């Protein structure tokens, strides 16, 4: 028997009305980082919280350039993207002390990308037993911290990293 990963809480996102324009282009251009849960900006990308998270601290690292895949980025942009992913890993470990982490890309709708036209890397902290009966049986995801609290904790760490450089 094969294992099956269900994520019924994602149905809210799947069925929701989507902006006609790319949210990964719109949100950073509005220069209202706290409202849009943007935690950090590097030269070629930014870090944003996922509003439909799998776990507390679920982040996305998004290149500024609107491209659907890695081949659309040059060497500098790829380097900046993955240096920023590395920074996210460090900060999530410092703030949340997870047992593990999922880091990955979904390229294309068939691969599970909710926003397939703009490349982004998911960084998801994981804890032993973090999938429980609520998500497996009840179809409800329990995220124990508010977005505001998660944002505040992570933003402080990202800001500390900027000042240390």
**Residues taking part in catalysis:** 120
CA dist 38 → 60, 61, 110 (Å): 10, 10, 27
SS3 of 75, please? helix
Taking the C-alpha atoms of residue 15 and residue 11, their distance in angstroms, rounded to an integer, is 6
CA dist 146 → 31, 60, 137, 152 (Å): 22, 17, 23, 10
């Amino acid at each position: 028997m094969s294992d099956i990963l269900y994520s019924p809480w994602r149905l809210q996102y799947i069925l929701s009305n989507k902006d006609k324009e790319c949210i990964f282009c719109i949100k950073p251009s509005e220069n209202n980082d706290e409202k849009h849960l943007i935690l950090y900006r590097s030269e070629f990308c930014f870090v944003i919280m996922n509003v439909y998270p799998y776990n507390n601290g679920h982040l996305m690292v998004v290149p500024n350039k609107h491209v659907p895949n890695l081949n659309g980025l040059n060497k500098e942009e790829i380097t900046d993207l993955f240096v920023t992913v590395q920074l996210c890993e460090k900060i999530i470990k410092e703030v949340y002390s997870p047992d593990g982490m999922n880091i990955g890309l979904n390229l294309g709708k068939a691969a599970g990308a909710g926003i397939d036209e703009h490349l982004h890397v998911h960084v998801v902290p994981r804890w032993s037993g973090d999938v429980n009966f609520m998500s497996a049986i009840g179809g409800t995801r329990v995220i124990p911290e508010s977005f505001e609290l998660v944002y505040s904790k992570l933003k402080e760490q990202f800001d500390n990293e900027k000042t240390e450089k």
